[in-house]
Amino acid sequence: MEGGYTGRHVNAQSHLTDPQGIIKNIYDAIVIGAGSMGSATAYHLAKFGADVLVLEQFQRGHTSGSSHGETRIIRFFYDKSFYTELMKTAYAEWRDLESASGKSLLFITGSVGIGAKGNPYGRATRQSLDAAGVESEWWDAAQLGKRFSQFRLTGDMEILWQKDTGFLRAAECVSTHLQLAEQYGAEIQENTKVTNVDWQTDVPTVRTENSQFRGRKVIVTAGAWAGTLLAELDLPLTVTKQQVCYYQPTDSKLFQPNRFPVFTEVTPDGEFIYAIPAFGAYDKGGRVKIARHGRGQVISADTPERTPDAVYIAHIDAYVQERLPELGKSTHTEVCLYTETPDEDFIIDAHPHCPDLLIAAGFSGHGFKFSALVGRMMSELARSGKTGFDIHPFRIDREHKISSGIPRLQS
Ligand SMILES: Cc1cc2nc3c(=O)[nH]c(=O)nc-3n(C[C@H](O)[C@H](O)[C@H](O)COP(=O)(O)OP(=O)(O)OC[C@H]3O[C@@H](n4cnc5c(N)ncnc54)[C@H](O)[C@@H]3O)c2cc1C
């Protein structure tokens, strides 16, 4: 694969028979997991003419991982400037996907970032936007009220307006990447759990309950299951249970994407809240999504228990009552998983002992917006062993800082 693919049919998947007579397929690339990262990786690889096999333990579009649901925030603003820089290409990748598929997947609403005057997260965020040449504006409460009368603010707050923020249609993005990957010839096997990846063979071997496949490159995009699949690496990944609440306002027009922004808030208690305007279901009026970003209950990815926590719902309802009273009470909640690294930065790297085994994991509750770009990065790494993007902060062997001291709002 060094030097890239020369075309679909030149690198055609080969079939070998081992001494026991079992057919072994050799693919250019095997992608493990069909969530946001795996679907985008499969798309980029297949587009470049690779023979790609995607193995997904559940059905595509399942709701047991991290990429389901209607929406995810996309934004430039980050307190770490390397994310802001990468987002320049990530936005372009999403627009390319829209052109390739003919679907609208990315909606721009602008965002307001609310926090107490001088809060360190707001300062750091503004700094990275400025460093990347991305426009933003400080507003005061009066300016916010003039533009978005839905908010009730108390205390001495400051607001960072960023016009390019918006949201992605999450589940639709994943299914679109998969559909296009298939159109380019990728094979997707659902309900096929990978039980082991043997990278010590000449060509890495991927075993499932009933079969085995060989891939010149194997890419692990297994979300909350990555730690188990790569147990020998002892990756610093923690899986947590997360919940989002949905609201159906009486006057839904007030919360449509053209009238209401994405918003984030570092509350006076140091909590991180985010919201996405009304979108999807609830009979065309859509529903507003609000949640707290933070370390949830630590669980195992295989725990089937996904019961919403009533105390959490009451807490978010109380916040909404104060900040956005017209939203009323939540009508529905959804449970999802974060896979967190100690410093909340991703892991994008090759296995330390096997350059043919690539890993994209630990997206720490803020990876979705990057997935179209991560797919491109993984495809470049698979094809040539390198990528033009700065993935230095995502190395496996970096020192995992527990905290930078700056409160962070991801999502
Ligand atoms: C509540 C919530 C809100 C979020 N909000 C945002 C946001 O606003 N903006 C943003 O950018 N990000 C957000 N994120 C984060 C983002 O959604 C995730 O970072 C991203 O979806 C992770 O994708 P993934 O492909 O790594 O994981 P997943 O989507 O979980 O995909 C991994 C896939 O691998 C499969 N798999 C695992 N093990 C195996 C195996 N052994 N064999 C076969 N298949 C296997 C799984 O079944 C799964 O389908 C949010 C996450 C949550 C939970």
pLDDT the model gives residue 294 = 84
In this prediction, the residues of the chain whose per-residue pLDDT falls under 70 are 1-24, 281-285, 400-411
Is 351 annotated in the active site? no
Is 9 annotated in the active site? no
Counting ligand 1 atoms within 8 A of each CB, the residue from 77, 194, 218, 368 with the most, and so the one to mutate, is 368
Query: From CA 141, how far away is CA 154, in angstroms rounded?
Result: 9
pLDDT the model gives residue 7 = 41
| Atom 51 of ligand 1, nearest CA residue | 365
Cα 35 to ligand 1 centre (Å):
6
Ligand 1 atom nearest the C-alpha of 55 is 43
Q: Helical H runs in 71-155?
A: 81-101, 120-132, 141-147
Query: From CA 88, how far away is CA 85, in angstroms rounded?
Result: 6
* End-to-end alpha carbon distance in the chain: 35
| Atom 34 of ligand 1, nearest CA residue | 33
Per-residue pLDDT of 167-210, as tens digits, reads 999 999 999 999 999 999 999 999 999 999 999 999 999 999 99
pLDDT the model gives residue 189 = 98
Considering the segment(s) 110-165+238-340 as one domain, its CATH architecture is 2-Layer Sandwich (3.30)
Ramachandran quadrant class, 204 (left: phi over 0; alpha: psi -120 to 50; beta: rest): beta
Q: What are phi and psi of 153, to 5 degrees?
A: -110, 145
Amino acid at position 78, single letter: Y
152 CA to centre of own chain? 30
pLDDT the model gives residue 21 = 41
Neighbouring C-beta atoms of residue 394, cutoff 10 Å: 21
DSSP for residue 410: -
Query: Of 44, 47, 68, 217, which is the active-site residue?
Result: 68
Ligand 1 atom nearest the C-alpha of 360 is 26
pLDDT the model gives residue 284 = 57
Which residue has tokens 């700094």?
127
* Domain ranges (residues) in the chain: 110-165+238-340
**Cβ-contact 197, 32 below 8 angstroms:** yes
Who lines ligand 1 at CB under 6 A? 32-38, 55-58, 65-67, 72-73, 193-194, 221-225, 229, 242, 244, 291, 336-338, 363, 365-369, 411
Cα 13 to ligand 1 centre (Å):
28
Q: What are phi and psi of 42, to 5 degrees?
A: -60, -40
Helix (H) or strand (E) holding 125: helix 120-132
pLDDT the model gives residue 20 = 47
**What pTM does this model have?**
0.94
Query: From CA 161, how far away is CA 139, in angstroms rounded?
Result: 7
Q: Spell 291-314 as b/e; 16+ CB within 10 A means b.
A: bbbbebeeeebeeeeeeeeeebbe
Is 289 annotated in the active site? yes
Query: Of 293, 366, 383, 408, which is the active-site residue?
Result: 293
pLDDT the model gives residue 401 = 52
Cα 225 to ligand 1 centre (Å):
10
Cα 360 to ligand 1 centre (Å):
11
**Cβ-contact 68, 61 below 8 angstroms:** yes
Is 245 annotated in the active site? no
Is 293 annotated in the active site? yes
Using DSSP, state whether 132 is helix, strand or coil: helix
**Cβ-contact 121, 80 below 8 angstroms:** no
pLDDT the model gives residue 280 = 78
